[in-house]
Amino acid sequence: MAYITGLSIQDFQMNSPRIIPAIVRAFFSSFVEGIVEGSLPEANGPQSVEPRQMKQLLLDHYEEMAQFLYESVFDAIAIVNYPSHEQLEQRLREADPASLNAMSLMQHACRTDKLFNLMADEYRRNFYAVLQGHVMSIEEYFEVINEDMAPLEAGKITPETAIQAVVIAVIRGYQSGRKAVKAHTKAANVVCIYRLLADNMQTLLHNSPVNTPDDIDLNELFLAVCKTPENMNTMLENMQRVMQSVAEE
């Protein structure tokens, strides 16, 4: 998987305990969307499924989840926790090759037990929501991930890196869902990806859901959820880059 670097520094900084939960939710929301889209007849608008059907769609691929999670978010979590690719490579070289599997690689990407446990807790929380028949809502997300749990503006990670990580999780999670149901060779639904990005930028960059009018245009929506034109451009540039990378695989 490609490890993308070359990001600039801004004064506004974030932290891993706030970013990793956003990455995990981005994976689940996008993975489920990919499965639903790939499983149902093609439609012009968003697909809707009954709660029991959504639960069954996920259970059908339960045994593959660890591998799909690794394929979708390893890079995303790694760029948040390592200043350089070389540091991660060094850690992996020092590890026992026989011990490396999808889950142990995720432990290395998380770097510390505390962050790995946070990732695992959020995995379980998101998985439980889908078993209840729905993707975790933004409101549910903020019931746990909030300023009391982890301040939004505290840490050493630039918004560019954090946005890049969530974009990777969205696009690769969406593609993994389509792959799970053998629909990954079809053209990606860009409107669906836009919707997933707008949804997951809220959990990354805000402390509460962003209220916007129903008739808001796409550019205004992206600016509202991304907060600044610079963040919006970072999101869109990384979307194009990751989609191109996925298309070439």
Q: What is the pLDDT along the chain (249 residues), one digit of tens a residue?
A: 333 333 333 456 899 999 999 999 999 999 999 998 887 766 545 556 788 888 888 888 888 888 999 999 999 999 999 989 899 999 999 988 888 888 899 999 999 999 999 999 999 999 999 989 899 999 999 999 988 888 887 788 999 999 999 999 999 999 999 999 988 778 889 999 999 999 999 999 999 999 999 899 999 999 999 999 999 999 999 999 999 999 888
* Nearest by Cα to 130 from 52, 26, 217: 52
User: Of all helices (H) and strands (E), which one includes residue 133?
Assistant: none
Residue spans per domain, the chain: 16-248
Please give the C-alpha separations between residue 27 and each of 13, 62, 205, 228, in angstroms, as whole numbers: 23, 14, 16, 24
The identity of residue 21, as a single letter, is: P
How does 137-164 read in b/e, with b if 16+ C-beta sit within 10 Å? ebeebbeebeeeebebeebebbbbbbbb
Q: Which residues contact 147 (CB under 8 A, 6 or more apart)?
A: 207
* Nearest by Cα to 173 from 32, 6, 9, 46: 32
pLDDT computed for residue 46 by the predictor: 54
pLDDT computed for residue 138 by the predictor: 96
pLDDT computed for residue 10 by the predictor: 43
pLDDT computed for residue 63 by the predictor: 85
Angle between helices 218-226 and 229-248 (to 10 degrees): 110
